[in-house]
Amino acid sequence: QASPFSTSGQQKQVMVEVHTGPIMETAAVVAKLAAAPRVQQQAAVPVIQVPEPDLSMELHEQLKRSFKELENSFSTAMREEDEEAPTMQTASAQAFAGSAVSEAIGMLKRFNPEATKETLSETVHGIIHSDALLGHLAKRSQVALRDYVPHDRAAWLAHDIESHAAAAKMQLGMWRANAVRTACLVRTRGVQVITDKGTYVIALSAGGGALLLGSTAGVVGVCGGMTSGALAGLLPALFTLGLSIPAGATVGGGVGGVLGTTAGTMTGFVGGGVAGGVAYRYRVEIKNGALFVRVKVRDAKAKAAKAVQQLQIKAANAGKTAKTQTNGTLKMISDKSSELACRAQAYTQAAATSAQTKASDLGASAKSLALNPAVQVTSAAAAGGAVATGVAGGAFGLVAGGAAGAAVGLVPAIFTFGLSIPVCAAIGSGTGACVGTAAGGTAGMVGGGAMGYGAYGAYSRRQEIKDSASEAWTRIGDVAESVKEMAKEKANISASFVKASLSSTGGTQ
């Protein structure tokens, strides 16, 4: 009986030649290998060989080409995501299987619109389980197609292939909806966990604890490990020439650092996370407790402030009373003191004005004396004499001190192998140079100043200098006498005033 999907006799003969050769044997072997695990799992169900579909060459090529295009399209969609999850790969394979079965059904209907549902089901069943039609597809695509259209028709969701495909598509849609719902729930839960402040607190607490305890324990572990390693290296130190001590310290420090850092990090991570979680979980209670303590402290502070305020009021009243009593006495004493101070200030200001006037006169005299050419020449001559005589005295002191030091160094030269002579000569020359320079400079300054003054003003200025000196001494004597008389007069006046005040106060009392 001819298949409804075959063409003329020549095409049928070609199909028979194609499907009756080695392809049949290969398909049978592959079918047996594919069905072997299912036979072991379901030993009671006999294996039914699916016959190869009798298709024309045109339809055969169209199906193969259509399956390959669909596979390429779904494979491209799967490659668009990097490292796609296995669940998404399975969903893509199932979607490819559903599209391929629907495409095969539609193509068979277009080729033979009058085919019955049973004929259509058998043909699709044979196509899906034929290695000749699906051998060019990937293994995952073949498995997905054969899972979509099971080998045993009893496992179908309906009696015919169209109803089975519709039911499978509905089931796949429900599975997709469940998967999408699950993914949405997971994503929502993940977002809630990620955006939860408690998660941030726990993460920060765990990270901080791990960092703190990890670093601390690492340092302690390195120190302890180095100490233990060095102590352990003491035993074989005799045989290793002491090299076992630094080697043991290095190994012990490394092991101790790793162990200490690991233990501290884990402990800090767990402890910090737990502490942060507990603190965040009971943050309301902790806040309420802190608020309660704050209220209690505030109440105690208010009571203490009230008691202090009462004490301050009492002290203020007592102070006011004492102040009122002492204000009278203080006012009387203040009035008397103010009067005395005003008088003393007036007298002091007058004396200061007079002294300032006298000092201004003396300053003017000293300035005119400093501008005198005789004084300037005297100063220059004194400086020149100090320099010349100081240099000569320094040279003489250097030579004389060196000679004296060398003479002194002759005594211990026997015991010092002659080294005391140059040492004492150097010390003596330095001392002599210093003393000679100082003495010569002083003598030169005095002598040069005297010679300069005598050379410049021995005849022409001596009378003027004499008159200026006499006038200066006279003014100084006058100022001193004036200040002395004024101070004596003011002291007498102040003493008389104080006596009068004290006598009047005593009489009043």
pLDDT digits (tens, 9 = 90+) for 178-229: 777 787 777 777 676 667 777 777 888 888 888 888 889 889 999 998 898 8
d(CA 6, CA 52): 13
**Helix, strand or coil, per DSSP, at residue 45:** coil
Joined together, the tokens standing for residue 291 give: 């608020």
Cα–Cα distances in angstroms (integers) from residue 84 to residues 14, 71, 76, 81, 186, in the given order: 44, 17, 12, 6, 17
H helical segments located in 20-134: 22-41, 57-79, 86-111, 117-128, 131-134
Check residues 333 and 301 and name the one with the higher pLDDT: 301
Top-ranked range on mean pLDDT: pick from 121-135, 334-348, 380-394: 121-135
Q: Which of 220, 217, 219, 250 is nearest to 232 (CA)?
A: 250
C-alpha neighbours within 13 Å on the C-beta side of residue 319? 6
Q: Residue 50 has what DSSP assignment?
A: P
Rounded Cα–Cα distance for residues 414 and 460 (Å): 66
Ranges of beta strands (E only) in 106-199 are: none
pLDDT the model gives residue 223 = 92
The torsion defined by the Cα of 423, 425, 428 and 429, in degrees rounded to 10, comes to -120
Give the best-scoring range by mean pLDDT among 24-33, 77-86, 135-144: 135-144
Give the percent of the chain with pLDDT over 70. 75
pLDDT of 421-452, one tens digit each? 888 888 888 888 888 888 887 887 788 777 77
Which residues, 6 or more positions from 89, have their beta carbon under 8 angstroms from its beta carbon?
78, 140
Mean pLDDT value of segment 405-425: 81
Lowest mean pLDDT segment, chosen from 11-20, 263-272, 474-483? 11-20
CA-CA distance, 103 to 244, in Å (whole number)? 79
CA pair distance 218, 204, nearest whole angstrom:
20
Distance CA 271, CA 311 (A): 52
pLDDT of residue 35 exceeding 60, the answer is no
| Residue whose C-alpha is closest to residue 361's, from 482, 486, 476, 484 | 476
> Does 356 score more than 80 pLDDT?
no
End-to-end Cα, the chain, rounded Å: 161
**Closest by Cα among 212, 30, 4, 240 to 114:** 4
Looking at per-residue pLDDT, the higher value among 39 and 224 belongs to 224
* Dihedral of alpha carbons 153, 158, 159, 164, sign: negative
Percent share of the chain, pLDDT over 90: 3
How many alpha carbons fall within 13 Å on the CB side of residue 418? 0
pLDDT of res. 261: 92
pLDDT band, residue 487 (cuts 50/70/90)? low
Instruction: Quote the pLDDT of residue 389.
Output: 82
* Range scoring the smallest mean pLDDT among 52-61, 148-157, 355-364: 355-364
pLDDT higher than 50, residue 9: no
Task: Name the pTM for this structure.
Answer: 0.33
- pLDDT tier at 509, thresholds 50, 70, 90: very low
Rounded mean pLDDT of the chain? 75
Identity (one letter) of the amino acid at 2? A
Task: Retrieve residue 276's tokens.
Answer: 């942060």
Residue with token string 């102070």: 319
Tokens representing 21 are 């050769």
pLDDT at 47 over 60: no
Mean pLDDT score, 125-130:
86
Angle between helix 420-457 and helix 373-409 axes, rounded to 10 deg: 160
Phi, psi of 87 (to 5 degrees): -65, -45
pLDDT at residue number 259: 92
State the pLDDT at residue 72.
Answer: 86
Q: What is the pLDDT of residue 508?
A: 46
d(CA 13, CA 21): 12
Helices (H), 233-282: 244-281
Least confident segment among 23-27, 251-255, 461-465:
23-27
The Cβ-side half-sphere exposure at 198, using a 13 Å CA radius, reads 12
Residue 16 has pLDDT above 50, yes or no: no
User: Taking 70 as the threshold, does the pLDDT of residue 113 lie above it?
Assistant: yes
Sequence-distant (6+) residues with CB within 8 A of 202 are 273, 276, 277, 280
pLDDT of 185: 78
Confidence band (pLDDT; 50, 70, 90) for 12?
Answer: very low
Query: CA 15, 18, 24 angle in degrees (round to 5)?
Result: 115
Which whole-number Å values give the CA distances from 253 to 219, 223, 248, in the listed order?
Answer: 9, 6, 8
CA distances from 10 to 15, 56, 57, 112 (A): 9, 10, 11, 19
What mean pLDDT comes out for the span 81-95? 65
Q: Do residues 144 and 94 make contact, with C-beta atoms less than 8 angstroms apart? A: yes
More confident of the two residues 347 and 72: 72
pLDDT at 15: 34
**Cα(306)–Cα(298) distance, integer angstroms:** 12
- Distance of alpha carbon 275 from alpha carbon 298, whole angstroms: 29
Tokens 């407790």 -> residue = 289
The yes-or-no verdict on residue 87 having pLDDT over 70 is no
pLDDT (mean) for 65-70: 87
pLDDT at position 183:
73
Give CA separation, 232 vs 218, 256, 258, 466, in Å: 20, 14, 19, 101
Highest mean pLDDT among 10-14, 52-56, 143-147, 187-191 belongs to 143-147
